[in-house]
Amino acid sequence: MNLLTSFKSIAGDNFDYEVIDPNNTNDESEKIDLFKQLVKDGLTPTDIEIRSTSSKSSQIIFPGALIYYKDRQQAVNFLKNSVTKKAGENINASIENLEYEFIAAIHHLAKNNIEKIAFLEGNGELTDKEVYDLTESVLQDNDKLNYHYAIERFNIKEFEIDSSKMEADISKQILDLSSFKALIIAKPTIAFNMLEKFIIDQYIMNGGKILWLIDGVNATMDSLQKANSFIALKNDLNLDDQLFKYGVRINPNLIEDLRSTQIPIVTGYSNNMPQQSYFPWPYYPLLFSEINHPISKGLDAIKCDFASSIDTIQNTIKKTILLTSSKQSRINPTPAKISLGILQNPPPIESFNKSQLPIAVLLEGEFESVFKNRILPKEQSIDFKDKSKPTQMIVVSDGDVARNSVSNNGDIYPLGYDRFINYTYPGNKKFVMNAIHYLCDDVGLTRLKSKEIKLRLLDKEKIASNMFLIQFINIVFPLLLLLIATLLFLNFKKRKYA
């Protein structure tokens, strides 16, 4: 209610609201019809349990709002319900996200033109399923890209044919790509050829924005399922010269970090049953941003898988480090041996002497084409640009930052979910959403998405076990103090006037 009152005080007559209770009717058929209409309008019902000391009951509620603007309508569901979180954590996430959900819905309704963004494909990038939580949301809420933008996939290898020359129409490909406000290049695994690099370069020269999610090294945990170690090699995508020209270099190394997630390791057997213990896995660093920037300010932990360090290059481009490793990190250059033995015989803490290695960098300015003063890939009448309009790009040295897990039977998990500890790191999704909002000039949404509220939740078990003591301290004890104070006061008056 406080939030709605604030909106009303700011917007005046342009904003109004009404609060209703769907259960506030004695007509059962009317209630059922209203429930059906609310579900049809997009609100999600929730069955809550009402408990007292002597009884309990249940009631269906609709924690949400229907927002109307002109002839448009949008449902906002307040309650985020992640199966990987406890009830208290879900409530905290819901309250934390409430202002964002309202503003995002109003922003969505008031928009006349929805910007288009594209996931590039053709070079082994993440599939639709692997970015499903980012684009569609596993929780079926509004915290998803396709709520704010029109999402498409653009295959850079598929060209229209120029009928006059009977060859690929490069100009048309560049023009088609330039219709997107932003481009996401998510964890490619196949090297880019010169023509593909040229098309991406000219997209940038025309003012296009890119979120690069690039692995510096080929390394996955799957390689450790067959053996206790493997050799990780550089992920050669033929992009080094291009990114270098724009202002960064993704190094062919792996960051080892003492601040990391844990993985289970079999440490013994009991009654022929494997016994597991959890150990910090330094190749899965946890990132906490200390940067005061709308993209990364106030973010919760971000989970990485085999991240590399990024160097910035001296040029005219403005660079902002968004994410870094902890102050206790070190570098493992390629060819890098990745072994579970590091858990049994951990290296000395003193060797983790690298501090805050960059993992995500924002680049802003007028970029120079990597093809300037070079022979173009195709001899066509292309409107070549050797310098861009003012634009931005974000380079992240771990493609898994945006990848949600998909089980063998096709189940999709939330982005940031860690199956080993059954926990979802919320920072991953917030960071990627913030990055896209920023690139698409929705800075207000970026700041709201980074807002953090901490609830001081009560321990229900402790309350139940100390019920008498709590009641005594909060009810009886104040009355005793009042009684003692009254008696002292009366005694004082009696002695004074005796």
pLDDT digit string, tens, across residues 422-441 = 889 989 998 999 999 999 98
Token pair of 278 as six digits: 């959890």
| pLDDT at 289 (0 to 100) | 81
Please tell me whether residue 90 adopts helix, strand or coil conformation: helix
Spatial contact of 310 and 283, defined as CB atoms under 8 Å apart: no
In-domain check, residue 485: no
What is the bridge-based pairing of β-strands 273-287 and 302-303?
Answer: antiparallel
Same domain, 297 and 394: yes
Please tell me whether residue 468 adopts helix, strand or coil conformation: helix
In-domain check, residue 459: no
Q: Which residues contact 399 (CB under 8 A, 6 or more apart)?
A: 126, 186, 187, 188, 213, 214, 215
pLDDT digits 0-9 by tens, 260-318: 999 988 888 888 888 888 999 999 999 988 788 889 887 888 999 999 999 999 999 99
| pLDDT at 276 (0 to 100) | 84
Q: Which domain does 35 fall in, by range? A: 1-113
In-domain check, residue 482: no
Task: Please tell me the distance from the alpha carbon of residue 177 to that of residue 175, in angstroms, as a whole number.
Answer: 5
* Nearest partner of 216 among 121, 147, 311, judged by Cα: 311
Same domain, 380 and 398: yes
Same domain, 122 and 157: yes
* Nearest partner of 406 among 415, 398, 397, judged by Cα: 415
The residue written with tokens 């010269």 in the block is: 241
Same domain, 42 and 158: no
CA 123 to chain centre: 24
Task: Please tell me the distance from the alpha carbon of residue 446 to that of residue 282, in angstroms, as a whole number.
Answer: 30
Task: Please tell me the distance from the alpha carbon of residue 369 to that of residue 228, in angstroms, as a whole number.
Answer: 44
Same domain, 84 and 153: no
In-domain check, residue 374: yes
| pLDDT at 445 (0 to 100) | 63
In-domain check, residue 101: yes
Same domain, 133 and 107: no
Same domain, 63 and 150: no
Same domain, 317 and 296: yes
In-domain check, residue 452: no
Torsion, Cα of 20, 98, 425, 39 (10° steps): 30
pTM: 0.76
Torsion, Cα of 204, 208, 211, 216 (10° steps): -10
The residue written with tokens 């601040």 in the block is: 259
Beta strands in 366-486 (DSSP E): 391-396, 417-418, 423-424
Domain count, the chain: 2
| pLDDT at 7 (0 to 100) | 77
3-state secondary structure 328-395: CEEEEECCEEEECHHHHCCCCHHHCCECCCEEEEEEEECCECCCCCCCCCCCCCCCCCCECCCEEEEE
Task: Tell me the sheet residues that pair with 57.
Answer: 50
Torsion, Cα of 234, 240, 244, 249 (10° steps): -10
Averaged over successive runs of 10 residues, the pLDDT of the chain (498 residues) comes to 76 82 85 87 79 73 85 78 61 74 77 89 97 90 86 93 75 94 98 96 97 96 86 96 97 96 86 85 91 83 96 95 95 94 90 95 97 77 89 97 93 92 90 93 64 54 68 79 83 73
* Nearest partner of 395 among 208, 228, 250, judged by Cα: 250
Of 113, 138, 165, which one is at a domain's C-terminal end?
Answer: 113
Same domain, 351 and 402: yes
| pLDDT at 84 (0 to 100) | 47
Same domain, 105 and 154: no
Please tell me whether residue 464 adopts helix, strand or coil conformation: helix
Task: Please tell me the distance from the alpha carbon of residue 341 to that of residue 329, in angstroms, as a whole number.
Answer: 18
In-domain check, residue 183: yes
Of 113, 148, 164, which one is at a domain's C-terminal end?
Answer: 113
Same domain, 177 and 304: yes
Same domain, 124 and 13: no
In-domain check, residue 297: yes
Of 54, 82, 113, which one is at a domain's C-terminal end?
Answer: 113
Q: Which residues contact 82 (CB under 8 A, 6 or more apart)?
A: 89, 90, 93, 139, 414, 424
| pLDDT at 83 (0 to 100) | 47
Token pair of 425 as six digits: 């790191």
